[in-house]
């Protein structure tokens, strides 16, 4: 197994040296950083296309790798432009290739020439994809002027007023962030209290009538209450009413309760009359 331990000499001081590289006077990238003081980093570079060396006039195929000197030479907006300086492996000549962020490609600067292998889609029945040269197409002056005038009119009548409105709204909402935040939090607390009270009332109704806890209840709505009442009255009106025929045998005789000495006699008389009514045959 490969060991990963590092040897720290006896005179090594972490506060003084910081790292073993500083103690030995070496860079962390080793020999690749020998020209770092000039802004040059040695990196591995692979040719993106076929070239001919101008010094020995030999062909170098795409994909050949070199230890190139990488250096930042400029900027395209916020994208850095890097230069790769390589030494030909067939001679002592040097050639330089730079990045082209505008056209998303590499460009040979000096020391070599690129093999022209561009495929023209228009010659093969297709359409141009990366056409960055605006001067190649014919421009109609009247059409360009009309387009410019309409764009300027749209800018002054639509876009600028809209930007002013957005700026005004932004200034109004961001004038006092603390007050706006307090107002929103106060409204949130009030809504939260109302929802908690409604949830408690719904739980009481569900517990009283034995309803499941997951059943959602409707909110108190006068229109819904009126519709429910009208529906109940309609069902009651459509319900058939049963008529009961009243006969003397079905109506119990409830004698007047006497008071005094005749209470026992009256009670006995009422019981006899009741039994007689029960024994009479029905017609």
Residue 92 clears pLDDT 80, i.e. is over it: yes
Residues 6+ apart with CB under 8 A from 182: none
Cut 0.85: pTM above it: no
pLDDT tens digits, one per residue of 129-184: 655 555 555 666 767 766 778 888 888 888 899 999 999 988 888 888 888 889 88
Contact (CB, 8 A) for 213 and 205: no
pLDDT at position 53? 93
Contact (CB, 8 A) for 98 and 70: no
Q: What percent of the chain has pLDDT over 90?
A: 31
- In angstroms, the CA 85 to CA 68 distance is 5
| H/E stretch holding 3 | none
**More confident call, 87 vs 15:** 87
pLDDT tens digits, one per residue of 226-275: 887 888 888 888 877 666 565 555 555 555 555 555 666 677 777 767 66
- In angstroms, the CA 281 to CA 283 distance is 7
**More confident call, 128 vs 185:** 185
Range of weakest confidence among 75-89, 182-196, 266-280: 266-280
Ramachandran sector of residue 18 (left: φ over 0; alpha: ψ -120 to 50; beta: rest): left
Average pLDDT of the chain, as a whole number: 80
- Which single residue is written with the structure tokens 């059409």? 143
Q: How confident is the model at residue 1 (pLDDT cuts 50, 70, 90)?
A: very low
pLDDT at position 252? 57
Residue 17 clears pLDDT 90, i.e. is over it: no
pLDDT tens digits, one per residue of 106-133: 999 999 999 887 777 677 666 666 555 5
């Amino acid at each position: 197994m490969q060991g990963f331990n590092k040897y720290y000499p006896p005179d090594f001081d972490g506060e003084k040296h910081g790292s073993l590289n500083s103690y030995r006077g070496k860079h962390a990238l080793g020999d690749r950083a020998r020209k770092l003081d000039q802004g040059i980093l040695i990196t591995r570079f692979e040719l993106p296309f076929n070239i001919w060396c101008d010094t020995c006039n030999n062909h170098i195929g795409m994909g050949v790798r070199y230890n190139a000197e990488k250096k930042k030479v400029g900027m395209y907006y916020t994208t850095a432009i890097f230069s790769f300086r390589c030494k030909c492996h067939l001679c002592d000549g040097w050639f330089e290739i730079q990045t082209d962020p505008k056209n998303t490609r590499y460009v040979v600067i000096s020391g070599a020439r690129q093999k022209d292998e561009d495929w023209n889609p228009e010659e093969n029945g297709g359409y141009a994809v990366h056409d960055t040269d605006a001067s190649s197409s014919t421009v109609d002056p009247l059409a360009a002027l009309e387009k410019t005038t309409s764009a300027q009119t749209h800018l002054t009548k639509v876009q600028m007023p809209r930007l002013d409105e957005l700026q005004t709204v932004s200034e109004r909402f961001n004038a006092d962030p603390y007050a706006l935040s307090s107002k929103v939090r106060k409204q949130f607390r009030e809504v939260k209290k109302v929802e908690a009270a409604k949830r408690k009332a719904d739980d009481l109704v569900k517990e009283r009538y034995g309803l499941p806890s997951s059943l959602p209840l409707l909110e108190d709505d006068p229109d819904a209450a009126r519709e429910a009442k009208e529906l109940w009255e309609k069902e009651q009106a459509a319900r058939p009413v049963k008529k009961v025929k009243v006969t003397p045998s079905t109506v119990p005789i409830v004698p007047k309760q006497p008071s005094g000495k005749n209470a026992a006699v009256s009670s006995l008389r009422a019981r006899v009359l009741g039994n007689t009514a029960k024994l009479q045959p029905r017609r």
